Structure 1
Amino acid sequence: MPSNSKEHQQKEKGDNVSEATDSNRNLMRGIFELARLHKPELTLLAWYPSVWTLCLVIHTLGQPMGAFDFFSMVFKNYLIVALTHSTCCTMNDILDRNIDGLIPRTASRPLPSGMVSLRTAIFAFIGWAAVTLSTTAYLQGAYSLVLWTPAWILSLLYPLGKRFIDFPQLILGSACAWVLLPAWVNGGGGVFGREELTPMVFFIIFWIMYIDMFYATMDSEHDISAGVRTLAVTLKPRIHFYLSLLAGLQLLCLSILAYRVERSALFWVLGVGVWAVNNVWHISGLRIVDGNWAAGSGHTIFVRNIGLGLWLTVVEVLELWSNGRLAF
């Protein structure tokens, strides 16, 4: 409720961020935005790999799977990934509340803008964490909590990594790669002894590092003054070279994966081929003008990668269907 009381205009104790008065508070919207529910497309980047892994299991085992069972697993993985994303983004904003206020793009987030209090954000994180754990156990069994734990821990460590190392993208990529394990096990691949999964793991790590470097260019100039460490800052003079290197490693892993499980020509052309063309398009589109990143170029390429991930997901499902391994 709006209030002109001086008491309501004081800063909350224990919080270093200069918060707005109660007139700026919006509890529901604040919790909604802390969890990034207004940006559902971001969840897809961690969900795509689980779908690709499930397709890989079916190809590896060589046994068809009913469409209902397949899409049921796909939906369950999406729900868990979405809840995980909401939980970790809420914690990210709690840890980054002082840094976010220094960067124009993030200054309007719920905590630095005063939309919610630090206490409210902490309670929201606890609530999201409880829902994530209980939903995972219900949908995939209590044993899946163990499979998901490394991904959860790495995701929570990511905002801290930005303070201490120059390559926090590696932590984020590793977190997304761990999402493969529960998808692999629940799809029937077993816990040990499947070398087919290895190139997929590295493909995901290289891809997430690649796209997060594009994303980080949006804030890189402000990150320097805020003390945030990121590859977009460290590698700026040679960033196109390193992006090209990551693109090449992605294609190598994707090609090894396709070769090992004997993918069809459809996958080589629409999967590997289209991926290669897009890599060239992405890297050539990232521009530096007068020493600064061209406005919006990194974000535009980031969004294109969300679309590229969806494209590969569709190709994976078509490949299963064309080979008779997805029974409708």
Structure 2
Amino acid sequence: MPLAHAAPALQSRLTDYARLLRLDRPIGSLLLLWPTYWALWLAADGMPSLANLLIFTLGVFLMRAAGCAINDFADRNLDGHVKRTKDRPLASGRIKPVEAVALFAGLALLAFGMVVLFTNTLTLYLSFAGVLLAFIYPFMKRYTHLPQLFLGAAFSWAIPMAWAAEAGELPQLAWLLFTANVLWTVAYDTLYAMVDRDDDLKIGIKSTAILFGESDRAIIAMLQALVVLVLVMVGLQADLGGWYYLGVLGMAALFVFQQHLARDRSRTGCFDAFLNNNWAGFAVFLGMFLDRLL
């Protein structure tokens, strides 16, 4: 290849890899990051170690990118039939399936290596389940209407891992936080699935958005109410104060706003409601951070 054409070709290739790993769409990483920080801050009583903070921040971004690679591999023959995903690099043939699998394996090994080198034995054991959840979730939409539940487990597994790395144990409080995050993930990923519901029905993909049908918004509201309730229970068990409850109240207010955004079930409205969850997760973390700081 002439040198004049090499640079644009390389740039195009790197752009496709970036799109495969969703480096241009950080929302998924942020939705993983806030609950991880919740666990670190609670496990360390507001003062997590710098090492764990760096390990789990980097680990979140690595595993989210790995999850995107294996997700697109699983959906490579389906994404082309969905309006939102038809131009993804794997679906359009610009990236080969073996490249996506290699990226998943490489990124997962990097994250696993950090756990092996810099955390404890309990965190190491938990990491095996984390990688397994990240791998199997994308395939669940073919077999069950509850793939969002598997995503909830995958997206929440950083909570016991972070807690174990910081405290060396897994008390009931850690699993209560895990439960809150699973419920939250099912709620916001159902909003996300509502964006693609028409296309998914045509190609036979299953989701909670399809399972819930016309009761979708009501069930999401119930899940959101349970999230708030469980987070209040977390606050009571952890003896958290007013700043934390203000953060939880902020999340509740944002949940109401999300219901407004998704009121007509339009693609744009449901997607905007999904994106708004970044601020809901941040609100809880900010409240927790200020409660332990002040």
The TM-score, its normalising length taken from structure 1, stands at 0.82
**1:88 counterpart residue number:** 67
Deviation at 1:121, TM superposition (A): 2.5
2:18 is aligned with 1:32: yes
SS of 1:109's equivalent? Answer: coil
Residues paired across the two proteins, number: 288
Equivalent residues of 2:73, 2:100 under 8 A apart: yes
Once the two structures are superposed, residues 36-63 of structure 1 have per-residue CA deviations (whole angstroms, 9 ceiling, x without a partner) of: 122223111112111101222234xxxx
2:244 is aligned with 1:267: yes
Deviation at 1:141, TM superposition (A): 5.2
Once the two structures are superposed, residues 279-301 of structure 1 have per-residue CA deviations (whole angstroms, 9 ceiling, x without a partner) of: 2221232133xxxx323011101
Residues 35, 260 of structure 1: CA spacing in aligned structure 2 closer, same or farther, 3 A cutoff? Answer: same
Query: How many angstroms apart in 2 are the aligned matches of 1:138 and 1:176?
Result: 23
Query: What amino acid is aligned across from residue 184 of structure 1 in structure 2?
Result: W
Matches within 5 A, 1:238-249: 238-249=215-226
**1:18 counterpart residue number:** none
**1:134 counterpart residue number:** 113
Residue from 263, 267, 278 that aligns with 2:254: 278
Query: What amino acid is aligned across from residue 248 of structure 2 in structure 1?
Result: V
Deviation at 1:257, TM superposition (A): 0.8
**1:124 counterpart residue number:** 103
Residue from 277, 281, 284 that aligns with 1:312: 284
Once the two structures are superposed, residues 168-210 of structure 1 have per-residue CA deviations (whole angstroms, 9 ceiling, x without a partner) of: 110011112221112111111514xx22223211100100001
CA RMSD of aligned residues (A): 2.2
**2:30 counterpart residue number:** 44
Query: How many angstroms apart in 1 are the aligned matches of 2:97 and 2:178?
Result: 36
Query: What amino acid is aligned across from residue 251 of structure 2 in structure 1?
Result: W
Equivalent residues of 1:31, 1:124 under 8 A apart: no
Query: How many angstroms apart in 1 are the aligned matches of 2:240 and 2:145?
Result: 37
The answer to which structure has the higher helix fraction is: 2
**2:56 counterpart residue number:** 77
2:40 is aligned with 1:54: yes
Query: What amino acid is aligned across from residue 171 of structure 1 in structure 2?
Result: F
**1:300 counterpart residue number:** 272
**1:6 counterpart residue number:** none
**1:188 counterpart residue number:** 167
Deviation at 1:131, TM superposition (A): 2.3
List alignment gaps of at least 5 residues for structure 2: 3-8
Equivalent residues of 1:26, 1:116 under 8 A apart: no
Equivalent residues of 2:120, 2:165 under 8 A apart: no
SS of 1:98's equivalent? Answer: coil
Equivalent residues of 1:169, 1:213 under 8 A apart: yes
The TM-score, its normalising length taken from structure 2, stands at 0.90
Sequence identity of aligned pairs in percent?
A: 26
Query: How many angstroms apart in 1 are the aligned matches of 2:218 and 2:79?
Result: 29
